[in-house]
Amino acid sequence: MAVLIISAIIVIVDQISKLLVRGFSIPFLGIEHDGFYYGESIHVIGDFLQFTFVENPGIAFGIDIGIEAKLFLTIFTFLLSSAIFVFLYKNKRNVLTYRIGISLVLGGAIGNLIDRMFYGVLFDYAPLFYGKVVDFINFEFPDFTLFGSSFTRFPIFNIADSAVTIGVIIILLFAPENNFRLKKKKNGSNSLDENNSELNRNEVNGSDLPSQEEKSL
């Protein structure tokens, strides 16, 4: 399915960017990339946009949920990603833009899920399912207050977080149109079924009537 390609691209780009930031080594190929040291920053657009290497043990945008909920979060994300994949594969009648939004959410969820599931083992600091998510996109905004909470900086995030956020916005924007079109298709299908049923009844009733020759006899 075409929209699943979008999810795959998100996962690939997300993982490549994280490995470039964190560093990696492939000994049997003689490949080693040091990446950033923890907390290191490079300026991309002055102080406004920086790449800063941090790790997040919780959920998106640096929100910490505690070690107790870590396993639950990883398993829940895996189940949710599986459900989204099945939904995308089976529901091809949804509006394309709506499905693109869902595919972005799927790609972002899988991107961060890989970190949580495997990074702890891959980088030898935690057991399976207890890895930390690599974040590095760092925007410097003026201090602001939102819903009564004061923020002195925007949380550091990654490409997967961005994909999920954009995907959710697209879903919310196009959900009404998607529901309207699905309802319209369903009503059209029901009307067609009713017309076919009426036509079949007429054909049956017509076949039961005596022909003109039978009447004359």
Point out the residues that are catalytic.
Answer: 135, 161
- Among candidate residues 123, 119, 128, 122, the one with its CA nearest the CA of residue 75: 128
Which residues, 6+ apart, have CB-to-CB distance to 115 below 8 Å?
18, 131, 132, 133, 134
Q: Where are the alpha helices (DSSP H) in the chain?
A: 2-22, 70-90, 96-114, 120-122, 159-208, 212-216
Which residues, 6+ apart, have CB-to-CB distance to 142 below 8 Å?
none
Tokens representing residue 81 in the block: 């990603």
